[in-house]
Amino acid sequence: MKHISKTNIALALILFSLLIILSRIQAYDGLLGVDTVTYAIMGNELLEGRALYSDLWDHKPPAIHLTFAAAQAMVGFGSQSFFLLNVAVAILILFGVYSAASAGGRGPITGLWAAAIWAVISRQIYLGTDSPNTEEFINVCVIWAFALFLQAGEAFRDWKKVLIVGGLFALASLYKPIAVVVAILFSLVYLLFPSVKSSKPFLHVSLMAAVGVGAWALTAGYFFSQNRFDDFSYAVFEFNRNYAGNLFQNLVSGLQLAHLFPKYLYPLSLLFIIASLGLLLSLRKGISRSQAMMAAYVLSVFIMISLPGKFFGHYYQLWLPVLSVATSWSLMSLSHVYRENSQRMMKITGSVVLTIMIGIQLFNYTQYENWWNKSNYGAYAVLKQLAIKINTLLLPEETFHAWGSSVGLFYYTGRSPQTGLIATWIFKRGPQAPQFWERVKGELSSPPVEIMVVDSLSKRVIPNFNDVLSDYRRFPDNQNFRPFELYYLKGGALEERLSNNLHLSDNADG
């Protein structure tokens, strides 16, 4: 195999990093999904001293909220924090993909092909990668754990790496507990796959598990010390059990073609075909430990996507790093059919694949605005203009509340939510739903918010939703705010200003 210098490897990875940065400039000040703005709002409120779970409620573990808070502490609350997270995560995965693909004797050339594929496909508009979500951070942890397992060969010889892998698994689970699936499957391969050199695999896995248990014990202990353990436990465990429903049925549902390979993945079809063909071809010589680990990775992605039972587009981001590695391995396997010209064939096939994928990506980039304008029935496209109108209507000290998919208005207006209960499903699912409903009604009435912004989902899924609107009157020109509806407080300061034509006379109700 042709030698490639460390300098050239570094230069290639820097070039791929620059490509990642450039590909994301289009979305620097773009529209954001509900989950992402929720994390950003909560991160900002955490920095202001509000308490997670007892005040600010979400059913995710704390890692995602702390990550957004850390980014905002570094660069401020705004587009720059999203861009920082998006780029930093993608570059961390880039180096992880290179390390994983080049491990096991496959060499740096295979690693660079994987890194090149990742640099091209890492931004997937239809999977929501422009709007940082938990899956992207889980991907960082999993691809690096995968790389360290592959680099270890038959067994870890460095206890520090064992601890690092345990820490990566723990961190991934603190973004989403379902990530423990990866730890279990990787560990099973490490324990059960034939090994002639390893004498301490069980001890290694036990140490990794101890790190994970310790991380969760420390997290639970913190909330216990703050007298918030019950709030934390309900949100992260009890609510999520209710939210997911029947796990077995979810896994079965995941096997349906519409869930196994949804339309979000169509732009990546070529890579899935190449990865599948090449990996099947490589099995002619038997299953190696690295191939077994790859199988565990693929199975864990399927389980993590399927187990919650929701099949949202951003779940499928979990495929991207493993697909990059698997495709590069497959290109290597396919090129070895031409033994004397294997390197040349890998260059040719790799170049053709990259050229096709670049063309697909460039076309998808042209669909960026159209995609967001249509997403969620056009809700995302309305938010920025609606935020300007709300800030025009309200005085600085006055408040409003945004329900459901309009939650991004807190971010775009720069106003804090009066209540920390800004998630919709908390009022529909879980045994404490009635208590939360009474709480949010109380918090929104003390003092009463001047404006309510309502989406159709909230009206549809929250029982007795109209109760919260009993003291409000709908704006007469609601068609300008579709798919949202705006309501103002009866007898409030805003109604008085509207009636006196002091603000936006076209909205005056009289």
Beta strand 400-402 with 472-474: parallel, antiparallel or unpaired?
unpaired
- Can you give the pTM of this predicted structure? 0.94
Amino acid at 262: P
Tokens at residue 326, please?
């698997």
DSSP 8-state code for residue 445: B
Residues of the chain with pLDDT under 70: 1-2, 154, 194-199, 336-342, 376-378, 501-510
State yes or no: cis peptide before 447, omega within 30 of 0. yes
Length in residues, the chain: 510
pLDDT confidence of residue 360: 97
Distance CA 189, CA 181 (A): 13
pLDDT recorded at residue 199: 64
Per-residue pLDDT at 229 = 97
Query: What pLDDT was estimated at residue 50?
Result: 97
What pLDDT is attached to residue 339? 64
Q: What is the pLDDT of residue 491?
A: 94
Identify the pLDDT of residue 483: 87
The per-residue pLDDT for 377 is: 61
pLDDT for the residue numbered 355 = 97
- Write out the two tokens for 161: 């790496």
- In order, the DSSP letters of 58-88 are -SS-THHHHHHHHHHHHH-SSHHHHHHHHHH
Given a contact cutoff of 8 angstroms between Cβ atoms, the answer to whether 495 and 489 are in contact is: yes
Instruction: Please report the pLDDT score of residue 478 as a whole number.
Output: 77
Tokens of 229: 């353990």
Residue pLDDT, tens place only, 142-155: 999 999 999 987 67
d(CA 497, CA 367): 42
What are 324's two structure tokens? 């990059």
- Dihedral pair phi/psi, residue 175, rounded to 5°: -85, -45
- Parse the chain into domains and list their residue ranges: 6-366, 375-507
The pLDDT tens digits for 330-360 are 998 877 666 666 678 888 899 999 999 999 9
Q: Which strand (E) or helix (H) includes residue 52?
A: none
Predicted local confidence at residue 344, as pLDDT: 80
Structure tokens at 203: 């001890």
pLDDT digits (tens, 9 = 90+) for 70-104: 999 999 999 999 999 999 999 999 999 999 999 98
pLDDT confidence of residue 505 = 39
Taken in order 163, 164, 168, 169, the sign of the CA dihedral is: negative
